[in-house]
Amino acid sequence: MKKIITYGTFDLIHTGHINILRRAKEYGDYLVVAISTDEFNALKGKKAYYSFEQRKAILEAIRYVDEVIPEHNWEQKVEDVKKHAIDVFVMGDDWKGDFDFLQDQCEVIYLPRTAGISTTQIKKDLNRTNNG
């Protein structure tokens, strides 16, 4: 079985998220998604609309996702790749080059993002509408 992993906050699920999960799953048989915990988001200066548990439940309901694990810190990626016997590490191409250090452990693939949609833009649009 070929295993894939990807990381993210996965807040306010949109078609861009679905596209990256679908395309990641095409690289193997089993997709592990590591999502940032609320505590890790706070360290990054981010606040998700949905809690970790809510985001986890949403991701577990998506047919491309086989397993959801917590991401506690930046450094855990090497450990996750080993622990979960990962063959392919997938991230959006806005991270291109940032995870090449994993190439000793597994294949690293950067996928193009879905044009015209992002959680940041959705939050800005909603904020503009509500403050309108």
Catalytic (active-site) positions:
44, 46
Spell out where the chain has E strands: 3-8, 30-36, 67-71, 88-92, 107-111
DSSP state of 39: H
| Residue 40 near residue 72, CB atoms below 8 Å | yes
DSSP state of 22: H
